[in-house]
Amino acid sequence: MKNLVKTADRLLRCAIASGDVPGVVAAVTDRNKTVYEAAFGERVLGQGPAMTTDTVMWIASMTKPVTGVAAMQMVEQGKLSLDEPASKVIPALGEVKVLEGWDGDSPRLREAKGVITLRNLLTHTSGYAYDIWNANIDKYLNVTGLPRTGTGRNIALTTPLASDPGTRWEYGIGIDWAGKMVEAASGQQLGDYMKQHIFGPLGMDSTAYRITPSMRERLAKVHQREADGLLNVTAFEVNQEPEYEPGGGGLYSTAVDYLKFMRMILNKGRSGGRQLLKPETIDLMSRNSMGALRVVKLPAARTALSCDAEFFEGTPKTWGLTFMINEAVAYTGRPAGSLAWAGLGNTYFWIDPKNGIGGVHMAQVLPFVDPRALAGFYAFEKSVYEALG
């Protein structure tokens, strides 16, 4: 990958110069070590300091695979089951209704057909949906005054289902509930469990729900793309005293730390002398776990937070146990069978088991899949595969 440094550095510098993002960190790892890392731009637009590879960022839904690992550790220990009713662990999951429609502004609810399982929660087939990409759930929150999941309040998870369990893929709050199942099975708060069983063993010292003083010194601000294309600094920060720690989002981390997590996946659950998950568990997480269902485009209901979202439109995609899996070669060069996902603030990662590599491209910009930020990620990934030859 001799040409990667020159090509990737040029792409990332151009992205900063053109105003695509205020700052970006990008890095690539193989199974053993980091083979490329760079940082350009500023942590806070127009204010500095400069981005560094250890800059702390809100990684939002890049939290989900971490929760997936925690859940599968519980499955390995026999404390959770993928396919038994999740209500055996959390009774409320057996009482949730489906939002069938509306009578004016009155929601029409009915009993769900089928039961929610941990597999449903981890694959986004539980029927739960995010208000950001589901107009009906967005309306339900507006009509009822229910707080949104980003508030960190428990009541925010009591939305109805948008569809019956197991009938469609729809991105939603299921992995927040999976995180609560981990808490119930382990007897620990989710962040504490992750620190003891994932972050500690992997040496991820700058990853947590709560921003430590050391992390805050390196923290990048979230920026908002306005209608005129310009970026403004926001005051956004994840609630630091939430009622629950969300398995679906909320972690802060660095590119350096997240590569350590990715290397563990590339090494079949092993890191150094520790085996965090069995190789067969990693294999299970890395293949289709939702049958004939497929990932579909997410239509934005709250456009300040997200554009319409679909990666590699036209490429068939399935879902493993917390990873999106492309079923054909992507135009960037990413092979079929690779694992990936992203965070709302335009943080992206992919893991390529075939070639034994993975990469991150992390900015702090809203809305999600902002065309400029997404184009920068795709260009970076393409440069990696071109260098790989």
Residue 123, pLDDT > 80, answer yes
Q: At what angle do helices 174-186 and 64-76 cross, to 10 degrees?
A: 40
pLDDT classification of 48: cutoffs 50, 70, 90: confident
- Give the pLDDT confidence score for residue 76 in this predicted structure: 98
126-172: per-residue pLDDT in tens?
999 999 999 999 999 999 999 999 899 999 999 999 999 999 999 99
| 127-to-27, 76, 77, 148 alpha-carbon distances in Å | 35, 25, 27, 17
- Give the pLDDT confidence score for residue 3 in this predicted structure: 82
User: Length of the chain, please?
Assistant: 389
275-331: per-residue pLDDT in tens?
999 999 999 999 999 999 999 999 999 999 999 999 999 999 999 999 999 999 999
Q: Which residues are catalytic?
A: 61, 64, 171
Residue 369 lies in a domain: yes
Hey, which residues does 285 pair with through a beta bridge?
A: none
Residue 21 lies in a domain: yes
For residues 59-78, give the mean pLDDT: 98
**What percent of the chain is predicted at pLDDT more than 90?**
98
- Give the pLDDT confidence score for residue 389 in this predicted structure: 85
Residue 252, pLDDT > 80, answer yes
User: Who contacts 2 (Cβ-Cβ below 8 Å, separation ≥6)?
Assistant: 387
Q: At what angle do helices 371-388 and 4-17 cross, to 10 degrees?
A: 170
Degrees to nearest 5, angle at CA 319 with 70 and 185: 25
Residue 224 lies in a domain: yes
11-23: per-residue pLDDT in tens?
999 999 999 999 9
pLDDT classification of 177: cutoffs 50, 70, 90: very high
Residue 49, pLDDT > 90, answer yes
Of residues 174, 151, 172, the one with CA closest to residue 245: 151
- Give the pLDDT confidence score for residue 220 in this predicted structure: 98
Residue 73, pLDDT > 90, answer yes
pLDDT classification of 217: cutoffs 50, 70, 90: very high
Residue 221 lies in a domain: yes
| Alpha-carbon span 291 to 149, nearest angstrom | 28
Residue 151 lies in a domain: no
Residue 1, pLDDT > 80, answer no
Residue 371, pLDDT > 90, answer yes
Residue 300 lies in a domain: yes
For residues 182-200, give the mean pLDDT: 98
Residue 236 lies in a domain: yes
Q: What is the mean pLDDT of the chain?
A: 97
| 252-to-91, 144, 212 alpha-carbon distances in Å | 30, 31, 10
Residue 2, pLDDT > 90, answer no
Containing structural domain, residue 40: 4-63+205-388
- Give the pLDDT confidence score for residue 230 in this predicted structure: 95
| Alpha-carbon span 97 to 361, nearest angstrom | 38
Residue 372, pLDDT > 90, answer yes
Read off the CATH number of the domain in which 351 is found.
Answer: 3.40.710.10
Token pair, residue 1, equals: 């990958």
Instruction: Give how many domains the chain has, as a whole number.
Output: 1
Residue 93 lies in a domain: no
Report the 10 Å Cβ neighbour count for 94: 13
